Structure 1
Amino acid sequence: MSLNCLPGMETSAISVLKRAVELDQSSRFQESLVCYQEGIQLLLDVLKAVKDDSKKVHYREKIKGYMDRAEQIKDHLNKVKEEGKYHEQIKITEDATGFSYETLFKPYIKEGLAEVWVEDPYIRHVHQLYNFLRFCEMLLKAKCNVKKIHLLTSQDEDSSSQQVSALAEIKQSLQTQNVCLDIKYSSTIHDREIRFDNGWIIKIGRGLDYFKKPKGRFSIGYCDYDLRQCHETTVDVFHTKHTKNM
């Protein structure tokens, strides 16, 4: 590995681990664990590239400290999951950025994830249908093996044909990726939640529709949702051993 890459690797490691500590201090343990693990791997790569013995000692000590903390968090998470007491709350403030679906859901998506349930009454209008499509795309790109997605939503009385047509197109497109989309409608649905078959339950106050409309088609944030401003909302995360079907 070229020594020219070392400063960039060190900067990346420091940035990720700084974020891990911030999340840790905010009691967002699942997210902090993911950042600790990524940061530790980056530091291990730095350690391999460093030639100076004193720096090697420094990085080994840092890595040990972060690994010890990551292990403590892992033990804590396993304990509260086992007891069914896991609850984490994330507050998205008005105009906040950095909350794309990839960023928000990443800590809860694991390799064994195969089935997902989406309960959201507002997958009806064009931008909401695009939100759902982006969510599906996120799952396809993630390090998991999703085979089935369940959607429970309400039917748009004013433009039901557009909604039905769009969801049918998404379903057909997912089939080309070997993913089955099961669509059901309910006239009484109110709650919004997303459940993964690995036990994670994510309840977003505004459902998937928490992004603000961009100022224009050529405005920053139009394509990259990490740069898109958000409406204020609260995300509650729970974990249960058994994720029941809708």
Structure 2
Amino acid sequence: MTENHVSGMEASAASVLKRAVELDQTGRFQESLVCYQEGIQLLIDAMKAVKDESKRGHYREKIKGYMDRAEHIKSHVNQMKEDGKYHEQMKISEDATGYSYEALFKPYISSAFTEVWVEDPYIRHTHQLYNFLRFCEMLLKAPCTVKTIHLLTSQDEANNSQQGSALSELKGSLSAEGVTLDLQYSSTIHDREIRFDNGWIIKIGRGLDYFKRPKGRFSIGYCDYDLRQCQETTVDIFHTKHTKTLKEPQN
């Protein structure tokens, strides 16, 4: 492995670990833990690639410091989970980018994750239906084995045939992937939250519909949601040991 390659890994590690420290300092512990783990692994890979013992010692010292901090955060997060007091909040600012569903939900998806409950009254119009489709695609690509996706939403009274047709097609497509879409409607739903069966609850002020409309069909951000500008919203993350089931629809 060339010296440039090692330098590249070290630079990548520094960038990820800088982000970890920033998240750590703002109380976004679960996200910071993911970044610490990624950064530590990059430093380990860089250390394995060098032969100079003084450089290896330098890497070992850095790795130990970050590992100690990561273990401290993990213990802190586990204790808050146990006490039922875990809550962190992030604010997505107007026109911000970098908040795709993969980026937002990744820290809270574990390998043991199999079931998700989505409550969002606005999975009705075309762009909202595409948002939900992208959310489902994200789950299929995530390091988990999702088996059931529950959706509670409201019916589009003006054009319920499009909504029904789209969700029916998605249900069939998910079924072919071994995933069940459990669809329910409610005329009184107003809360927006997403619950994972590993205990994480994510409440987004705007639900899944926090992206701005792209400037055009061939504008940057049209396909890649990490590059899509966002509308201002707040995300609250909680953890509970007992994940409730989907609410009964009220008509």
| Unpaired segments ≥5 residues, structure 1 | none
The residue that corresponds to 1:37 in the other structure is: 37
The residue that corresponds to 2:71 in the other structure is: 71
SS at match of 1:149: strand
The residue that corresponds to 1:239 in the other structure is: 239
CA deviation after TM superposition for structure 1 residue 3, in Å = 4.0
Amino acid across the alignment from 1:190: H
Query: Which aligned pairs between 1:163-182 and structure 2 lie closer than 5 A?
Result: 163-182=163-182
The residue that corresponds to 2:13 in the other structure is: 13
RMSD between superposed Cα atoms in Å: 0.7
Encode CA deviations 1:63-111: one digit per residue, 9 max, x unaligned: 0000000000000000000000000001000001110000000000000
- Say whether 1:109 aligns with 2:109: yes
- Say whether 1:221 aligns with 2:217: no
SS at match of 2:235: strand
The residue that corresponds to 1:81 in the other structure is: 81
The residue that corresponds to 2:119 in the other structure is: 119
The residue that corresponds to 1:128 in the other structure is: 128
Amino acid across the alignment from 1:243: T
CA deviation after TM superposition for structure 1 residue 2, in Å = 4.5
Separation in 1, partners of 2:192, 2:180: 21
Amino acid across the alignment from 1:118: V
The residue that corresponds to 1:184 in the other structure is: 184
SS at match of 1:190: coil
Amino acid across the alignment from 2:144: C
| Unpaired segments ≥5 residues, structure 2 | 247-251
Separation in 2, partners of 1:43, 1:7: 10
Separation in 2, partners of 1:221, 1:51: 43
Query: Which aligned pairs between 1:195-210 and structure 2 lie closer than 5 A?
Result: 195-210=195-210
Query: Which aligned pairs between 1:87-102 and structure 2 lie closer than 5 A?
Result: 87-102=87-102
SS at match of 1:134: helix
Separation in 1, partners of 2:4, 2:61: 24
Separation in 2, partners of 1:233, 1:23: 18
SS at match of 2:47: helix
CA deviation after TM superposition for structure 1 residue 115, in Å = 0.2
SS at match of 2:187: coil
CA deviation after TM superposition for structure 1 residue 4, in Å = 4.2
Q: How many residues align?
A: 246
CA deviation after TM superposition for structure 1 residue 8, in Å = 1.5
Query: Higher mean Cα deviation, 6-15 or 220-229?
Result: 6-15
Encode CA deviations 1:201-221: one digit per residue, 9 max, x unaligned: 000000000000000111111
SS at match of 1:91: strand
CA deviation after TM superposition for structure 1 residue 51, in Å = 1.7
TM-score under structure 1 length normalisation: 0.99
TM-score under structure 2 length normalisation: 0.97
